[in-house]
Amino acid sequence: MITQNVKDALKEIVGEENYSDHVIDLVAFATDASEHKQRPDCAVWVTSTEQVKAIIKLANQERFPVVPRGAGTSLAGLAVPAEGGLVMDLGRMNKIIKISLDDRLVVVQPGVVYADLDKKLAPDGFFFPPDPASGMVATLGGNVATNAGGIRGAKYGTTRDYVLGLEVVLPNGEVLRAGGQNIKSSSGYDLARIFVGSEGTLGVITEIILKINPKPTETATAMATFPTLADAGRAVTQIMRSGILPSVLEVMDRLAIKAINENTDLGLPEVEAVLLAETDGFTAEEASFQIQKIIDLFKANNASSVEMATDPAEAAALWAARKSVYSVLTRLNNTVVVEDLAVPLSKVADTLKIIEEVGEKYGLQMPTVGHVGDGNLHPGVAFDRYDEKQRETAHAAAAELLGRVAGMGGTLTGEHGIGLAKAPHMHLEHDPVSMETMRSLKKLFDPHNILNPGKMALEA
């Protein structure tokens, strides 16, 4: 519980208008895009590093939890104030401080929305490649804290690959400036990247330096259907070792296709798997040379149909099914949990099989889509959260799935993070030595455990 004295001190720091303990704010800050919920005691909207510093100092002194928050789009409960305390909304720190094409970087405040940066960079032909599906609202601070990915991971990597430097308010109230504006550096420990994917447990990010890329002007798209999962899996493996690096390589499994057909008028062929590939380049020839190679490999692996698009309208038609998946999933029942497994590329087909097996065992349909170019699969489980049995079954199935995937060398999460959803399963992937190292690191930075407590199994 945060005392009235502390609440008054918080108001003093941010101003009355940037503080709230009104019930509507507590409800709105209780959750994110996950199924987890816990109301905080109060919330602040910060507008400067100085304010963050003062609040963190106070929290460290008074020992109350602080949960930094961006747009609250986490699918794993990263932004849920699991132990109450204070939610610190960084959405109003949303200035793009600098765009330097000469240095090929941007400096931004954490509350800048991905899409707003993209809009600013587009006229100059640049982009920040890791684009999560929530990019129209997700903030860059949240993307860094989650190590967010997106559909272009295979070719362009994830947020981690672009973070050059950070300003972070540490739990003791000191301001750390890690990294800088150099594209390369091997100077000391890479402190900036310790905070990438740290889920707000080590410090509050208040400024970000990101590398940006020139944006390819041309794309080509192809879609293929496969009679068996094995054929699609083999096609993926062969594409990834062919020397061609697709900018996008997506899969939809049989149940995803079935769900799309039952809920839209897209009328997809009822096959075992669909692959959707996009290649990019700076000339049409470059993009189409690459897509042709991919099409050859689709055909060599028994694709039952192949369609290709070279103009945006045709490409949009091929994308329609993939883009409809989230909408379709959310309409199946009142709750959908999207898993986020990632496996070595050669194990994609095996993993799709495992998902189907687990689904059958628990009597659940788990439609799956994923970014197979980087081995990242998103099985979705839709259920009625007010039905205890359904909820337990969905969670039991997810636990078994995570265990089997971790057992084959996969990871619990490719791009969503651990948060609350995966915290109970951390041990499946990380051995005691890893867990102890993570816990030691947490203690080093945050000895009083004030920052986003309850996440990542750091306290167990």
Partner 1 sequence: MSEYQFSEKYRDQLLRCSSCGFCRASCPVFNLTQRPALNARGKMLVLQEVFEGNLPLDEELHETLFQCTTCANCSTHCPSGVEVPTIIKEARRDLAQAGACHPTFIGMDQVLDKYSNIYGEDEPEDFERERNQEAENVFFIGCVGQYRDEEPTEATLDLLDHLEVDFTLIDEVCCSGVLEDVGLSLKEPLAQTNIERILATGAKRLITACPYCMRTFQNHPAYAPLKEAGVEVVHISQFLKDQDFGVTTDLKVTYHDPCDLGRHCGIYEEPRETIKKVAPNLLELAANREAANCCGAGGGVRGAFAANSIAMARRRLEEVEASGADILLTECNSCVHNLGNAKLRSQKFQIFTTPQFIHALVEGDLD
Residues whose CB falls within 8 Å of the CB of residue 4, separated by 6 or more in sequence, listed in order: none
Residue number with CB closer to partner 1 (383 or 445): 383
> Smaller CB distance to partner 1: residue 58 or 90?
90
Residue with tokens 């309208």: 313
Regarding 137 and contact with partner 1 (CB under 8 A), the answer is yes
Q: Is 89 in the site for partner 1 (CB under 8 A)?
A: yes
28 or 175: CB nearest partner 1: 28
For partner 1, the binding residue among 2, 13, 14, 33 (CB under 8 A) is 33
Binding positions for partner 1, 334-373, rule CB under 8 A: 334-336
Stretch that binds partner 1, among 52-60, 67-75, 223-231, 340-348 (CB under 8 A): 67-75
- Considering the complex, what minimum distance in angstroms separates the CB of residue 300 from partner 1? 36
- Name beta bridge partners: 307: 223
- Binding to partner 1 by CB under 8 A, coded x per residue (else -) over 295-334, reads -------------------------------xx--xx--x
**Beta-carbon count within 10 A of 460 CB:** 10
Spatial CA neighbour of 132 closest among 338, 404, 403, 333: 338
CA dist 371 to 179, 184, 249, 297, 344, Å? 30, 28, 6, 18, 12
The CA-atom distances, in angstroms, between 190 and each of 103, 177, 187, 199, 418 are 20, 11, 8, 17, 22
For partner 1, the closer CB: 289 or 326: 326
- Nearer of residues 71 and 229 to partner 1, judged by Cβ: 71
Distance in Å, CB of 60 to partner 1, minimum: 26
Pick one of 2, 6, 14, 29: the residue that binds partner 1 (CB under 8 A): 29
Residue 248's beta-bridge partner residues? Answer: 278
DSSP 59-93: HHHHT--EEEESS---SSSTTS-TT-SEEEE-TT-
Answer yes or no whether residue 181 interacts with partner 1 by CB under 8 A: no
Alpha helices in 282-368 (DSSP H): 284-300, 312-332, 348-362
CB atoms within 10 A of CB 11: 17
Question: Rounded to the nearest 5°, which phi and psi values hold at 45?
Answer: -110, 115
Out of 27, 122, 266, 300, name the contact with partner 1 by CB under 8 A.
Answer: 27
CA distance 247 to 315: 14
Candidates 30-38, 271-279, 388-396, 428-436 — which segment interacts with partner 1 by CB under 8 A? Answer: 30-38
Among residues 23, 183, 313, 433, the one that binds partner 1 under rule CB under 8 A: 23
- Name the residue among 372, 359, 366, 437 with its Cα closest to residue 400: 359
| Alpha-carbon torsion angle 377, 380, 381, 386, nearest 10 | 130
Minimal distance in Å, beta carbon 41 to partner 1? 15
**Binding span for partner 1 by CB under 8 A among 22-30, 157-165, 196-204, 438-446:** 22-30
Name the residue nearer to partner 1 (CB basis): 21 or 400.
Answer: 21
User: Considering the complex, what minimum distance in angstroms separates the CB of residue 35 from partner 1?
Assistant: 9
Closer by beta carbon to partner 1, 137 or else 438: 137
Q: Shortest Cβ distance from residue 394 to partner 1 (Å)? A: 14
For residues 161 and 153, what is the distance between their CA atoms, to the nearest angstrom? 10
By beta-carbon proximity to partner 1, the closer residue of 195 and 383 is: 383
Type of residue at 269: P
| Among the residue ranges 123-131, 132-140, 172-180, 436-444, the one whose residues contact partner 1 (CB under 8 A) | 132-140
- 136 or 176: whose CB is closer to partner 1? 136
Listed ranges 31-39, 268-276, 314-322, 452-460: which one lies at the site for partner 1 (CB under 8 A): 31-39
Q: Which is nearer to partner 1, 90 or 343 (CB)?
A: 90
**Strand stretches in 121-247, DSSP E:** 126-127, 163-169, 175-179, 204-211, 213-214, 218-226
Q: Is 32 in the site for partner 1 (CB under 8 A)?
A: yes
Cβ closer to partner 1: 320 or 460? 320
Q: How many CB atoms lie within 10 A of CB 363?
A: 8
Kind of pairing, strands 86-89 and 163-169? unpaired
* Minimum distance from residue 32 beta carbon to partner 1 (Å): 7
Task: Scan residues 1-20 and list those touching partner 1 (CB under 8 A).
Answer: 20
Q: Are strands 42-45 and 86-89 parallel, antiparallel or unpaired?
A: parallel
Spatial neighbors of 116 by CB under 8 A, at least 6 apart, are 94, 96
What is the contact surface with partner 1 in residues (CB under 8 A)? Answer: 20, 22-25, 27-33, 45, 71-73, 89, 91-92, 94, 115, 134, 136-137, 326-327, 330-331, 334-336, 385
